[in-house]
Amino acid sequence: MPPTDPLATVRRVMAGDRWAAAAGAKLVEVRPGYARTTLRLRDVHMNGVEVAQGGAVFTLADYAFAACSNSHGTVAVALDTSITFARAAVRGVLTAEAVEESRTRRTSVCSVRVTDEEGSLVALFRGTAFRKEDPLDAVLAARKARRAGKGAARGRGPGARGR
């Protein structure tokens, strides 16, 4: 069996982020200590005053932070995050670029810039993640086992009869 590509594993783990997917966020690029995500603003992202809802912008930045802090192949989970909104976004595609500023055995500190299509700053996000010892491959294995268990519970697993 060939060795696992760590960045491919990161991509597969991030593809399981159902909240980011529901929001429409896309992981465009990931490499060690860096990630870029995008989000095309739609009507559903607008708040009551017709600008991008802060939660939509935060979700995009958080998704980039997650990919960046997990980019070394071990599970990293947020300890602390903050966001500063610099300007309102109203249309087009937003891009979040996460850069790991510091990494130790147990923490990852990332800065994320969210910009609009013109390159104007929309928000600055800062996140600190706790780096666990669990490999990301274990997340994928657990996800596969959980899905297999759900299928079996519904009569769709191994040995299930057709209707």
Q: Which amino acid is at 88?
A: A
CA 100 to mean position of chain CA atoms:
14
Quick count: other Cβ atoms within 10 Å of Cβ 122?
Answer: 20
Question: What phi-psi label fits residue 119: left (phi over 0), alpha (psi between -120 and 50 degrees) or beta?
Answer: left
For residue 28, the model assigns a pLDDT of: 97
Please, what sign has the CA dihedral across residues 94, 52, 87, 123?
A: negative
Mean pLDDT by groups of 10 residues along the chain of 163 residues: 72 96 97 98 97 98 98 97 98 98 98 98 98 93 89 48 38
- Assigned token pair, 160: 């299930």
For residue 163, the model assigns a pLDDT of: 33
Q: 3-state SS of the chain? A: CCCCCHHHHHHHHHHCCHHHHHHCCEEEEEECCEEEEEEECCHHHECCCCCECHHHHHHHHHHHHHHHHCCCCEEEEEEEEEEEECCCCCCCEEEEEEEEEEECCCEEEEEEEEECCCCCEEEEEEEEEEEEEEEHHHHHHHHHHHHHHHHHHCCCCCCCCCC
> Is the distance from CB of 81 to CB of 127 less than 8 angstroms?
yes
Least Cα distance to 70 among 33, 102, 41, 105 occurs for 33
For residue 16, the model assigns a pLDDT of: 95
